[in-house]
Amino acid sequence: MIVHSVIFTLKHPAGSSAEAKFLTDALVLTQIHGVQHFERLRQISPKNEFDFGFSMQFADAAAYQRYDEHPIHVEFVRDRWVPEVAKFLEIDYEAL
């Protein structure tokens, strides 16, 4: 099992309709076969500079690779992520 997480801050003002639309539109990623347990998360700790997170799981590296190359993911990254995300950190985990 691979857990793929990204924590990020958007360029949009906090509480704006553009912020809400980005977070809602990200649900398109759940249409990709192999994405499990997709979560949209709000950061509540004062210990880091990021505002939101997405977390999802994949059965194995092959499933994660298919997601990464899937046209829906590629389009979302190109058309939404790159222009709308100010900063991010990506973390991929597997159990020890």
Please name each of the domains of the chain with its CATH number.
2-86 (3.30.70.100)
CB atoms within 10 A of CB 58: 23
* Region of 15 on the Ramachandran plot (φ > 0 left; ψ -120 to 50 alpha; else beta): left
CA distance 78 to 73: 9
pLDDT band at 95 (very low <50, low <70, confident <90, very high): confident
For residue range 24-78, list pLDDT tens digits in order. Answer: 999 999 999 999 999 999 999 999 999 999 999 999 999 999 999 999 999 999 9
pTM of the model: 0.93
